[in-house]
Amino acid sequence: MLTEFITKHKLGKEFLHTAIKWYIPLAEQLHQHHHGAKKTFYVGLNGSQGSGKSTLADFLKSYLHDKYQLNVIVMSLDDFYLDQSQRLALSIKVHPLCKTRGVPGTHNIAHAKQLLSDLGKAHKALALPRFDKATDNPQPEKSWPTTQAPVDIVIFEGWCWGVEAQDDASLNTPINELERCEDETAVWRRYVNRQLATHYQPLYPLMDFWIMLKAPSFEDVYSWRLEQEQKLIAATTDVNAQGLMSPGQISHFIQYYQRLTEHGLNTLADKCDWVFELDPSRQIVKAISRCEHA
């Protein structure tokens, strides 16, 4: 199973060590929790852009299916992004920075809430949304994958998933050029913070278990996100795809994420069941759980 997974995801040989030492013990613990819960078990997964959330989630899904025949559904907050026209309307109504996908307020969080609820009581197939970053729009609904019922485990991952809103005083001082030059009066960041508190945080208690892939610092996120984009470009056949970005555009783009990423790095770990601390090359250097230290 491990060899097939590594080949399928085009991973380096070092992933074998990571899986055996870190990810399999986590998967076994999730199996035990699900077995004890006797209902759909929800797992929240947080990690900055490019930290390896998708790889970890896919591994947990594959392992738990292959070994225990569990029906595991993986969903990403990214797949709930509003389409371009909806974000354009927000940019006119609220602030021009709302046109760019990424921060709280640019997702269809009502859809995410409904789907999370439905998965826990599903007796029929449910469609799972998918967002196409190359076109910067959701994929057509007819192409969305569907679930099988019943669902044993739901893994919901996102770069800001689990992060709580900041206090108002923290919003006064801009933290980067984007905020200084394009959000001088803090209208955008206050809107984002309000959306996080009002619509995202109320969903966090739905999660039974929390995992964090913790980056060493925000400075590492740029190189990780750039690598992501290069893979996306290599995999895209549409030469006219408008959602692809150059290194300079990536540098600007990640500034949208900086405030909440850094806030999450400073506050979220203590609230998680498992925290994997990463080095700049994304290798796990330490794992901390509520029950043990590794």
How many percent of the chain have pLDDT more than 70?
95
What does the pLDDT average to over 4-8? 88
Query: Residues 23, 16, 233, CA angle at the centre, nearest 5°?
Result: 90
DSSP 8-class letter at 142: G
Per-residue pLDDT tens digits for 83-106? 999 999 999 999 999 999 999 999
Contacts (Cβ under 8 Å, ≥6 apart) of 96: 182
Per-residue pLDDT tens digits for 49-68? 889 999 999 999 999 999 99
The rounded mean pLDDT for the chain is 92
Q: Is the pLDDT of residue 242 over 70?
A: no
Per-residue pLDDT tens digits for 115-167? 999 999 877 889 999 999 889 999 999 999 999 888 999 999 999 999 999 99
Identity at 240, one-letter amino acid code: N
Q: Which of 127-131, 218-222, 289-293 has the highest mean pLDDT?
A: 127-131
Q: Are 73 and 151 in contact (CB under 8 A)?
A: yes
Q: Provide DSSP, 144-204.
A: --B--SSP-EEEEEESSTTPPPPPGGGGSS--SHHHHHH-TTSHHHHHHHHHIIIIIGGGG
Domains within the chain, CATH numbers bracketed? 23-289 (3.40.50.300)
Adjacent-strand bridge partners of 210 = 44
The answer to whether the pTM exceeds 0.85 is yes
Q: Is the pLDDT of residue 287 over 50?
A: yes
Residue 7 pLDDT class (50, 70, 90 cuts): confident
- DSSP-derived 3-state class of residue 55: helix
Q: Is 24 exposed, middle or buried (0-12, 13-18, 19+ CB in 10 A)?
A: middle
Residue 180, pLDDT score: 98
Residue 251, pLDDT score: 84
Closest CA to 194 of 173, 166, 174, 161: 166
Alpha helix positions (H), the chain = 2-8, 14-18, 24-37, 53-68, 84-93, 109-119, 177-182, 187-195, 219-235, 247-253, 255-267
Q: Is the pLDDT of residue 113 over 50?
A: yes
Residue found under tokens 């692809």? 244
Q: What is the rounded distance in angstroms from the CA atom of residue 115 to the CA atom of residue 146?
A: 12
CA torsion angle for 87, 90, 95, 96 (degrees, to 10)? 40
Per-residue pLDDT tens digits for 158-205? 999 999 999 999 999 999 999 999 999 999 999 999 999 999 999 999
Q: Is the pLDDT of residue 293 over 60?
A: no
